[in-house]
A and B are shown apart, each in its own frame.
Chain A
Amino acid sequence: METVFDFFMSIVDRFRYAPLVIQIAVTFTFIAVTLTAIAYLSILINRYRSYQREKKLAKLNPLIDDLLTEHILMNEALYNEETVEPVVPLEVFDKPVFSKKWARQALINRLTMYRDNVQGAMGEQLRYVYLQLGLDKDSLKKLKSSRWDHKIQALAELTNMDVPLADVIILPLTNSRNRELRATARHAYIKLSKNEPFKFFDVATEPLLRWDQIELFRIITTSDRIAIPNFAQWITYSSNKSIVSFCLKLVEHYQQLSAVPAVTKLLDTRDHYLRANAINCLGKLKIESVEDKLISMYDSQPHNCQVEILKAIGRISSGKHVDFLRQEFLHSTDFEIRKHAAKSLINNQWAAEALVQELVETATRENKLILKHCMNPLIKF
């Protein structure tokens, strides 16, 4: 009688003496079946774990919400901006569940979420809870992790809770090779550094990506505790072009007229992208004194700078250079140039009403269309 073992051995023998193609096919079939089974198992386990996690959080989050609502959000003593003594009795958090790591993390997530949405005394109370429950130690532990995503999470939590960090810890991270970590560290540094929040502008060797600029811009412009420096220092001395470009946007946002000489100097830079940014900045600051220089340099500029000059003259709207705009509108062969010249003419209309009317009546069909396009309030761009 043939045993299972004999049957198995006969299959092994067949496999051993089979042609190479068959051996490969059988091996890969075995691998494919195994991997498919593992894949199904992984889907099953992953869904089950997620389900369990959600179930646990669905129980815990309302508990945390109730505690925070009762003691902080509904506390009338915290409805003004004045600093008050800690009002949250910490013993209410003295529950066995908060000894578990996942529950502490859930508490941190909830506290940071609430702190994103409230300010003043309530925000301070949330910070107090975070510190008194020793949750900052959890965050600092993550900061020491070798995983960059843990570091990022820790920095985000500490920044949210305004926990000061030593420069020696955070400055090296602002030049990390990992892009995400570098960006988060820069944001954290700006928010947490008490003395020189923009110090990393001096030490940044890597360019600021456009995304970094958007995030930094939001942090700088929405944090009321940051002392805004004169950005002219970086516009003049920084060798990092992305920092200069970013500072131009900040100059424009804060309407820093004291930085105008530094920005004007940039008109002579060899980098035409930076030059275009400087022209844009001067236009938005409505610096009338640079108009003559812009017009004198116009002919020697590349297309992007010419467009920016036309826009700047429209924004400054001094009414002094309508002839130049008319000239460009009538004689340029480039559609974009004509369109921007027309837009700027319309912006200067207070000084050139008759001219605009004359152009509408006498211009070619296409130019007339451009003018009407620019004059139509329904068309924004």
Chain B
Amino acid sequence: MNGIFWETAGKFFESGIFVYGTTLLITYALLATFSIIAVRAYARKEQSYQADPLLSSPLAPGITVLAPAYNEGLTIIYNVRSLMTLVYPKYEIIVINDGSTDNSLEQLIEAFELVAVDFAYNVKIPTQPVRRIYKSSNPAYSQLTIIDKVNGKSKADAVNAGINAASFDYFVCTDVDCILHEHTLIELIKPVLQEPKRRVIATGATLRIANSCEFDQGVMTRMRPPKQLLPRFQEVEYIRAFVLGKMGWSLINCVPNVSGGLGLFDKEVAIRSGGYDFSSFGEDMELMTRMCRYACDNGIDYAIRYVPRTLCWTEAPVTVRIFGRQRTRWARGLAQLMHAHFRMFLRPRYGRMGMVIFPYNFFFELLAPVVEVGGIIFYITGAILGWINWPTAILLLIFVYTYSVMITTLAILWDQLTFRYYKSWREVAYLCFTPFMEMFLYHPLIVFFSLRGYFFFLTGKKSSWGNMQRRGFQQRTPGAAPAN
């Protein structure tokens, strides 16, 4: 009796996993197809455009760049100077000092000749109190505003304060430690201006790992894949997620998220949606979901667009401890989001968000680590009890392995076909060999930290954002020849 039960349960589990796995693999295949169409269309369009019409145009819409900073004293001056290299006719930079306990503010005041001003700050989204607002007395830094506020224990609270002070209809949210391409604002606003029918409520772009790149005065001068293994895994993961995943979703207007590292947002919709949720651990995805929900509830025919070009470089964690903290937070954010907005799940009223993005995120993002661990436990149990047909099991394992390598390799190919970011063959080869190790070395970490995030969410464990320990970017030595 007991044996029949286990056999039936095993067959049920196997069939379920088969359907689940097949759907996931088909989805990846579809995304790969959609993404190459979208990436090539972008590249062909780009050939017909020149950047200069916008650069000098009085018709260019204004953009506010928001950069929250907490204890970034090591690099803050360098990073703000980097933001000032952005090329756009009408923009302002708002740096939000989120109650730093180091000397970030003092450094800013001294370097940019700041003075406190009587600023009419309008609280459209509630935040922790703003202490002072500073402007530079030097006309060269006239576009810079610094908000000094009480620490809100989250990036969301800091960005919300920036949104309240923003003057323009669009804002770009980035991290102060991110290095942006000088044409970031032009590239991000283009999809908004080129959209014929829908209201573009957000635009995202590809992020890359900055760890081994070279920078000169805040400008990226030489792009390299990270030399260390953990950041290189993340580079490959970013290429897969942005170039293949988000570009694929973008083609069918189903972008699930605009990264917190870099995104342009419609300020009116963001404010009406309530701004960033300071209690969320995945505040970027949460805001995007709420903006979509607001748009659907109010009959706004919206679009979220993605740009496959790399516009932002960010420092990736190099130690497993910091990496684990980051991924645990992301997983917890995803669980929070699913819980908070579960009413959208399979509701036709919420269009593609409710019928495509939400089910995909639920089944293939949230549940994937749980299913994987379930599968491993089932295998181990089966192996102990002698139920495993080893040739079949090994064949299936080879299948999953080769398929995952193929998907990542295709993402690298799409990237390489369109943009030749890396100078040497060796660098591309470096990147191409990384997917072969990903399944054994990197993926188990992701699964573990995801489950830890879910556990923290379920148990309501108190955890803070944690401070990412910066190492700073690699600077080109003056006079040194560019490396090959």
A372 surroundings in chain B (CB, below 8 A)? 118, 120
Given the contacts A47-B420, A50-B420, A29 and B409 also touching, CB distance less than 8 Å: no
A47 surroundings in chain B (CB, below 8 A)? 416, 420, 425, 428
Q: Residue B54 at the A interface, CB < 8 A? A: yes
Q: Residue B410 at the A interface, CB < 8 A? A: yes
A369 touches B118 (CB 8 A): yes
Q: Residue A149 at the B interface, CB < 8 A? A: yes
- Sort chain B's interface into a size bin: 35 or more
A213 touches B59 (CB 8 A): yes
Q: Residue A380 at the B interface, CB < 8 A? A: yes
Q: Select A179's contact among B44, B122, B136, B194, beta carbons within 8 Å.
A: B194
A213 surroundings in chain B (CB, below 8 A)? 59
Q: Select A381's contact among B57, B61, B92, B196, beta carbons within 8 Å.
A: B92
A378 touches B115 (CB 8 A): yes
Interface residues of B in 324-342 (CB under 8 A from A): none
Given the contacts A26-B399, A210-B59, A378-B117, A39 and B413 also touching, CB distance less than 8 Å: yes
Given the contacts A26-B395, A29-B398, A214 and B48 also touching, CB distance less than 8 Å: no
Interface residues of A in 185-225 (CB under 8 A from B): 207, 209-211, 213-215, 217-218
Q: Which stretch from A30-38, A267-275, A285-293, A312-320 is at the chain B interface?
A: A30-38
Whole-angstrom CA separation of A38 from B120 in the bound complex: 60
Q: How far is the CB of B379 from chain A (nearest CB, A)?
A: 15
Whole-angstrom CA separation of A318 from B258 in the bound complex: 47
A36 surroundings in chain B (CB, below 8 A)? 402, 405-406, 409
A22 touches B395 (CB 8 A): yes
Q: Mark A142-159, 1 if CB is under 8 A from B, else 0.
A: 000000010011001000
B399 surroundings in chain A (CB, below 8 A)? 25-26, 28-29, 32
Whole-angstrom CA separation of A330 from B64 in the bound complex: 29
B193 touches A33 (CB 8 A): no
Q: Residue B27 at the A interface, CB < 8 A? A: no
Q: How far is the CB of B460 from chain A (nearest CB, A)?
A: 38
Interface residues of B in 44-61 (CB under 8 A from A): 44-45, 47-49, 52-54, 56-61
B193 touches A378 (CB 8 A): no
Given the contacts A40-B409, A218-B56, A373-B120, A378 and B137 also touching, CB distance less than 8 Å: yes
Q: Select B412's contact among A39, A50, A378, beta carbons within 8 Å.
A: A39
Q: Residue A370 at the B interface, CB < 8 A? A: yes
A153 surroundings in chain B (CB, below 8 A)? 47-48
Q: Mark A342-368, 1 if CB is under 8 A from B, else 0.
A: 000000000000000000000000100
Q: Which residue of B lies closest to A211 (CB)?
A: B193
Interface residues of B in 175-219 (CB under 8 A from A): 190, 192-196
Q: How far is the CB of A105 from chain B (nearest CB, A)?
A: 13
Q: Which residue of B lies closest to A41 (CB)?
A: B413
Q: Residue A167 at the B interface, CB < 8 A? A: no
Q: Residue B37 at the A interface, CB < 8 A? A: no
Q: How far is the CB of B479 from chain A (nearest CB, A)?
A: 24
Whole-angstrom CA separation of A40 from B416 in the bound complex: 10
Whole-angstrom CA separation of A28 from B395 in the bound complex: 11
B395 touches A32 (CB 8 A): no
Whole-angstrom CA separation of A210 from B135 in the bound complex: 32
Whole-angstrom CA separation of A374 from B25 in the bound complex: 58
Q: How far is the CB of A19 from chain B (nearest CB, A)?
A: 8
Q: Which residue of B lies closest to A372 (CB)?
A: B118
Interface residues of A in 244-262 (CB under 8 A from B): 249, 253
Q: Residue B319 at the A interface, CB < 8 A? A: no
B45 surroundings in chain A (CB, below 8 A)? 180
Whole-angstrom CA separation of A184 from B231 in the bound complex: 43
Q: Which residue of A lies closest to B396 (CB)?
A: A25
Chain A CB within 10 Å, residue with most, of B56, B60, B168, B406: B406
Q: How far is the CB of A366 from chain B (nearest CB, A)?
A: 8
Given the contacts A22-B392, A39-B406, A149 and B44 also touching, CB distance less than 8 Å: yes
A209 touches B410 (CB 8 A): no
Whole-angstrom CA separation of A33 from B142 in the bound complex: 56
Q: Residue A335 at the B interface, CB < 8 A? A: yes
Q: Residue A376 at the B interface, CB < 8 A? A: yes
Q: How far is the CB of A147 from chain B (nearest CB, A)?
A: 9
Q: How far is the CB of A44 from chain B (nearest CB, A)?
A: 8
Q: Mark A38-63, 1 if CB is under 8 A from B, else 0.
A: 01101100110010000000000000
A335 touches B122 (CB 8 A): yes
Q: Residue B119 at the A interface, CB < 8 A? A: yes
Interface residues of B in 26-73 (CB under 8 A from A): 44-45, 47-49, 52-54, 56-62
B396 touches A43 (CB 8 A): no
Whole-angstrom CA separation of A339 from B124 in the bound complex: 14
B120 touches A43 (CB 8 A): no
Whole-angstrom CA separation of A184 from B54 in the bound complex: 16
Q: Select B59's contact among A33, A40, A249, beta carbons within 8 Å.
A: A249
Q: Residue A166 at the B interface, CB < 8 A? A: no
Interface residues of B in 85-116 (CB under 8 A from A): 92, 115
Instruction: Point out residues on B near A: beta carbons under 8 Å.
Output: 18, 22, 25, 44-45, 47-49, 52-54, 56-62, 92, 115, 117-122, 135-137, 142, 167-168, 190, 192-196, 392, 395-396, 398-399, 402-403, 405-406, 409-410, 412-413, 416-417, 420, 425, 428, 432
23 sample A-B contacts, Cβ–Cβ < 8 Å, listed by A number = A21-B392, A28-B399, A29-B398, A32-B402, A35-B409, A39-B406, A46-B417, A47-B425, A180-B45, A180-B48, A209-B194, A210-B193, A211-B190, A211-B193, A217-B53, A217-B57, A217-B59, A218-B52, A339-B120, A366-B120, A372-B120, A379-B117, A381-B167
**A25-B398, A211-B194 known, 5 other contacts, Cβ within 8 Å:** A35-B409, A50-B420, A209-B195, A217-B53, A366-B120
Instruction: Point out residues on A near B: beta carbons under 8 Å.
Output: 19, 21-22, 24-26, 28-29, 32-33, 35-36, 39-40, 42-43, 46-47, 50, 149, 152-153, 156, 179-180, 184, 207, 209-211, 213-215, 217-218, 249, 253, 335-336, 339, 366, 369-370, 372-374, 376, 378-381
User: Sorted from nearest, which 8 A-B pairs have the closest CB atoms?
Assistant: A381-B167, A372-B118, A373-B120, A211-B193, A32-B402, A25-B399, A32-B406, A378-B135
